[in-house]
Structure 1
Amino acid sequence: MSDKSAPKKKKSPVLEWIIAIAVAVLLAVSIRIFIFEPYVVDGDSMDPTLKNTEKLFVNKAIHYIGKFDRGDIVIINGKENKEHYVKRIIGLPGDTVEVKNDVLYVNGKEVKEPYLNSNRKAAQASGLQLTNDFQEVKVPKNKYFVMGDNRLVSMDSRTGLGLIEADRVIGKSEFVMLPFNKIRATN
């Protein structure tokens, strides 16, 4: 009796390429849907921190964890999910937020906002306050209070957007990736 095994069939090189491409596409789509995605800044509401047309690298994985910190720059779905907003988280669930005499108070304590310095100087030179006063707002559970850094033109929790539901926050901006000469961290 001979000990011969049946010869193994070789996979077609074309089939191997198709499988490799399918796996790569599936992996790329999964990463983009669940982990990282680029977003383009549209408008001046975050100027000078972020400029119109800059492309951001956004960490979407943090959305599933739901752990955002005060000061994080986040991407928010519009109510119709057709538009996105880039804003800074000012108030977390349970916080109280208020502005008096162009000074931000969270939970009754003054919050320093050094990222507003150039905008504040420009507003004051024009005889304006950068952030108009508003009475204390209590941020409910599962919502955030957000504002743009260019407070004179920003539509945010004070005007138009209102308090943002946690499930509308897509992710956190990690860095500007384009243009290449402007690459920098955003938080």
Structure 2
Amino acid sequence: MSETATTKADKKAKKNELRDTVVVIIEALLIALVFRTFLYQPFSIPTASMQSTLMIGDYFVANKWVWGLGKYSFPIPLPFNGRILAFNAPARGDIVVFHNEPTNEDYIKRIIGLPGDRIQMKQGRLYINGTEVEREQVGTGEDKDSYDTTVPVIIYKETLPGGVVHSIQEISDDQPLDNTAEYDVPAGHYFMMGDNRDHSADSRVLSQVGYVPAGNLIGKAEARFFSIKDNIPPWQIWQWPANIRWDRMLQSVYQTYTTTPAP
């Protein structure tokens, strides 16, 4: 084979190799896009509203197919209402990622009220359909928010109708959202509240969150896969040894309750 022919063959082989590499990269990106859009999506926690269930610096995955797909399930919101392929409905106590239209942000809260429910706070106590929700004090602790402000809190075990048991924390029973009017949850909507009851802008604030349409739900939080203190970026590997919360790694977010919040 002549030198010219060899050179042409080498160039063709390199071109084919580059093409194959590009094809593999495109296929991997498409698989990741499909996985993220239709199955599971990772999220991080930047605020204190769900502490101590989900701490600032926790990373978790949300199941996006469990309730079907809404318009915010896709990378670009699609112009339709309701949900498609919805064979199951959210339940009280589920921890949900949803798109909050008033602020144009994704929020994570716990479902407290289902369509048709009546929700009210009286002196720090939660009432659902006129019945006080069972609450038991199990400890005390400290809560640190995203501004590094630390306050003492009381830890409670709360048992929702239907049997879901989880922890909540409160500064006191006399905070701004501890006494409210009664909320009537409309059909096709859900009432969301944070587990950090006195540090959560949620459905109790109608102008900021209010009732959440079913079509705005993105997914059900399922498992933490990483957790680091002070919201340190996870790529800063040199910070891991002193700051990773090893006891919060690879856990379901549906622990029953804790007696003290994680640091």
TM-score in terms of structure 2 length: 0.58
Residue 167 of structure 1 is matched in structure 2 by: 215
> Which AA in structure 2 matches 1:69?
A
The structural deviation recorded for 1:80 is 6.5
Unmatched tracts of structure 2, length 5 or more: 1-14, 69-85, 135-157, 159-165, 228-244, 255-263
Question: In the alignment, is the contact (CA less than 8 A) between 1:130 and 1:151 conserved in 2?
Answer: no
Tell me what 2:167 maps to: 115
CA distance in 1, matches of 2:108, 2:202: 10
CA separation in 1, counterparts of 2:103 and 2:22? 34
Report the 3-state secondary structure (helix = DSSP H, G, I; strand = E; otherwise coil) of the residue aligned with 2:119.
strand
Which residue identity does 1:185 align to in structure 2?
Answer: S
- Per the TM alignment, residue 152 of structure 1 is displaced from its structure 2 partner at its CA by 1.2
Number of aligned pairs? Answer: 170
Runs of 4+ in 1 over 4 A off after TM superposition: 12-21
Note the C-alpha offset of 1:41: 0.7
Q: How does 1:32-181 map to 2 (within 5 A)?
A: 32-64=36-68, 65=86, 67-79=89-101, 82-112=104-134, 113=158, 114-116=166-168, 119-120=169-170, 122-123=171-172, 128=174, 132-159=178-205, 160-179=208-227, 181=246
Is contact 2:42–2:61 with CA below 8 Å preserved after alignment? yes
One-letter code of the match for 1:29? Answer: L
Q: Which residue does the alignment assign to 2:253? A: 186
Compute the displacement of 1:98 (Å).
1.5
Tell me how far apart the structure 2 counterparts of residues 144 and 37 of structure 1 sit (CA, whole Å).
22
- In the alignment, structure 1 segments of 5+ residues that lack a partner are 1-11
% same residue: 34
Deviation at 1:171, TM superposition (A): 0.7
SS of 2:223 mapped into structure 1: strand
SS at match of 1:28: helix
Which letter does structure 1 place at the counterpart of 2:197?
Answer: R
- Distance in 2, Cα, partners of 1:80 & 1:158: 14
Q: What RMSD over aligned residues (CA atoms) do the two structures have, in Å?
A: 2.4
Task: State how far apart, in whole Å, the 1-side matches of 2:190 and 2:113 are.
Answer: 6
Compute the TM-score of the two structures, normalised by the length of structure 1: 0.79
CA distance in 1 between partners of 2:218 and 2:209 (Å): 15
- In the aligned structure 2, how far is the partner of 1:60 from the partner of 1:76? 11
Deviates more, 1:132-141 or 1:75-84: 75-84
Check conservation: 2:60, 2:226, Cα contact below 8 A: yes
Shift of 1:145: 0.5
1 CA distance for matches of 2:21 and 2:225?
32
TM-fit CA distance, 1:147: 0.8
Note the alpha carbon deviations across 1:109-130, whole angstroms, 9 max, x for none. Answer: 33232412xx23x426xxx359
